[in-house]
Amino acid sequence: MSLVIKFTPDTFTNSPKTNHELSHIARTLRTDVVKSLYLAKSGHSGGSLDLSEIMTVLYFNGFLKYNSKNWKDKSRDRFVLSAGHLAPILYSTLARAGFFEVEELGTLRKLGTRLQGHPGLDTNLPGIETSAGSLGQGISIAIGMAMSHKYLDKTSQKVICITGDGELEEGTVWEAAMASSNFKLSNLCWIVDNNDCQIDGRVSEVMNIYPLREKFEAFGFDVIEIDGHNFDDIKMALSKYEANLKNTDKPTCIIAKTYMGKGVSFMENKYEWHGNPPNKDQTIQALNELEL
Ligand SMILES: Cc1ncc(C[n+]2csc(CCOP(=O)(O)OP(=O)(O)O)c2C)c(N)n1
122-168, pLDDT tens digit by residue?
A: 999 999 999 999 999 999 999 999 999 999 999 999 999 999 999 99
Q: Tell me the CA–centroid distance for residue 136 and ligand 1, in Å.
A: 9
> Distance from CA of residue 250 to its chain's centroid?
22
Atom of ligand 1 minimally distant from the CA of 44: 21
Distance CA 189, CA 239 (A): 11
Distance CA 51, CA 88 (A): 10
227-251, pLDDT tens digit by residue?
A: 999 999 999 999 999 999 999 999 9
What per-residue confidence (pLDDT) applies to 263? 98
50-107, pLDDT tens digit by residue?
A: 999 999 999 999 999 999 999 999 999 999 999 999 999 999 999 999 999 999 999 9
Burial of residue 37 (CB within 10 Å: 0-12, 13-18, 19+) is buried
What per-residue confidence (pLDDT) applies to 292? 65
Mean pLDDT across 194-211 = 98
Distance CA 79, CA 127 (A): 9
Asked whether the beta carbons of 244 and 188 are under 8 A apart, the reply is no
Q: What 8-state DSSP symbol labels residue 134? A: S
**Does the N-terminal peptide bond of residue 119 adopt cis geometry, omega within 30 degrees of 0?**
no
Q: Tell me the CA–centroid distance for residue 146 and ligand 1, in Å.
A: 24
Distance CA 233, CA 258 (A): 12
16-53, pLDDT tens digit by residue?
A: 999 999 999 999 999 999 999 999 999 999 999 999 99
Q: Assess whether the C-beta atom of 83 lies below 6 angstroms from ligand 1.
A: yes
Q: Assess whether the C-beta atom of 53 lies below 6 angstroms from ligand 1.
A: no
State which CATH number among 3.30.2290.10, 3.40.50.970, 1.10.150.20, 1.10.3710.10 fits the domain covering 19-290: 3.40.50.970
Q: Assess whether the C-beta atom of 98 lies below 6 angstroms from ligand 1.
A: no
Ligand 1 pocket test, pick from 199, 255, 268, 273 with the greatest ligand atom count within 8 Å of Cβ, gives 199
Q: What is the mean pLDDT of the chain?
A: 98
Closest-CA residue, ligand 1 atom 19, reads 198
Q: Assess whether the C-beta atom of 197 lies below 6 angstroms from ligand 1.
A: yes
Cα distance from N-terminal residue to C-terminal residue, the chain? 20
> Distance from CA of residue 191 to its chain's centroid?
8
Domain ranges for the chain, please list them.
19-290
CA atoms in the 13 A half-sphere facing the CB of 118: 14
Q: Assess whether the C-beta atom of 286 lies below 6 angstroms from ligand 1.
A: no
